[in-house]
Amino acid sequence: MRRVFKAVLTAIWFMVLTLPVMGIKLNTLDETVQWRFDRILWLGAGVFVLAVIWDWCFSRKAKGLPLLRLPEGLGAGLRALSGRPRLKTGGLAVLALFMLTMPLISSFYQTNIMISALLYVMLALGLNIVVGLAGQLVLGYVAFYAVGAYAYGLLYQFLGWGFWACLPVGGILAVLFGLALGFPVLRLRGDYLAIVTLGFGEIVRLGLQNWTSLTGGPRGISDIPRPGFFGLEMDINASTTYVYYLVLAAVVITIIMISRLKNSRVGLALQALREDEIACEAMGIDITRVKLSAFALGSCWAGFAGVIFAAKTTYINPSSFTFMESAMILSMVVLGGMGSIAGVVIAALILILAPEYLRAFSEYRMLIFGAIMVIMMIFRPQGLISGERRRYRISALHGAHNGGRA
């Protein structure tokens, strides 16, 4: 009963709060006011149901109980299926087949949306190196994205360079900017590092906006060519399909590279830095080199993504590289699970595709989107898929040595 009473109060409070926005419509032509109480009532009913579910979830969490408990037989069956490597291989094969055939079975609009989603996957994986593996909170990651995009635009505008010539140059320039940011912030961590990197991102954006003689200022750079394929002429549909496969290949390469990086000496040093910087330095790891490596690797992928973005849109301006882009990319890393590759990929696809496919609920889609984010951070703060942590059994090692001595 107490739960229902609290839900009723929450619904009434929400209805009163949203009445001026959703319940009143002003007709300036007829100078009349339309009262839309039906929307407010439906909203109150929805908030009531959600408030009851919310309170129930919190009560179970406070008691240490799982939100959902599967039947014992079903849970054991699912665990057995998840442990089969053939099932995982089959799932990956189906996913790969779908991604390869998507431009052929979907519309031009759907392909464009997927290209944008894959670009954000690439950006989120790059930021995952800095934030997820190394534990360095960066809020100006979009600056490296802008460096790659403007590198392609300016090199084409002044020197006539093509996409394939500008792709490595964009990555190298982004690395140089990453090192330029990494050196001054070597001794910073936490909130102080976040504030400095946020300022760096705004400096780059304002520089691009105000240096009109070079970057064109707010007008940006237009008529950037799309990637070519051995000089073949392609229409807009064929060019979009080609860009899709190019971005898909870039994402696959990124996943492979970061997977190998996690298990390498550099990757283990990055994870040691994330866990405890003082202990990491005490173990003899050069934290200066490790931090700079994290900034360089993360910014490199952002530079590559920026070049591809400029080729996809054929037009860039500073408004495409605001702080909100950095916040969105960081949300993908946090929501997916810091250090987790699969989680970051899933989160990036959800955060980009969900608002697009919720356009049928155009008036409520951002409300639904924000509610899902809040619920996720409360009940699953470690992300969709938490990052794997290495564990070593020292006791077994000692046992083996003792057995050998005996």
Is a pLDDT exceeding 80 seen at residue 208? Answer: yes
Q: What CA–CA distance (Å, rounded) separates 228 from 241?
A: 12
Matching residue, tokens 């008691």: 63
Contact in structure between 283 and 272 (CB atoms under 8 Å): yes
Per-domain boundaries in the chain: 2-62, 104-379
pLDDT (tens digit, 9 = 90+) per residue, 89-130?
777 788 888 888 888 888 888 888 899 899 999 999 999 888
Question: Residue 331 is which amino acid?
Answer: S
Least confident of 29-33, 273-277, 286-290: 29-33
What is the arithmetic mean of pLDDT over 24-41? 77
The answer to whether residues 136 and 294 touch, using CB atoms and an 8 Å cutoff, is yes
- pLDDT tens, position by position, 127-170: 988 888 888 888 888 999 999 999 999 999 888 888 888 999 99
Any idea which of 18-22, 30-34, 234-238, 366-370 has the lowest mean pLDDT? 366-370
Per-residue pLDDT tens for 256-266? 998 888 888 88
Residue type, 63: K
CA distance 156 to 277: 43
Q: Return the pLDDT at 305.
A: 92
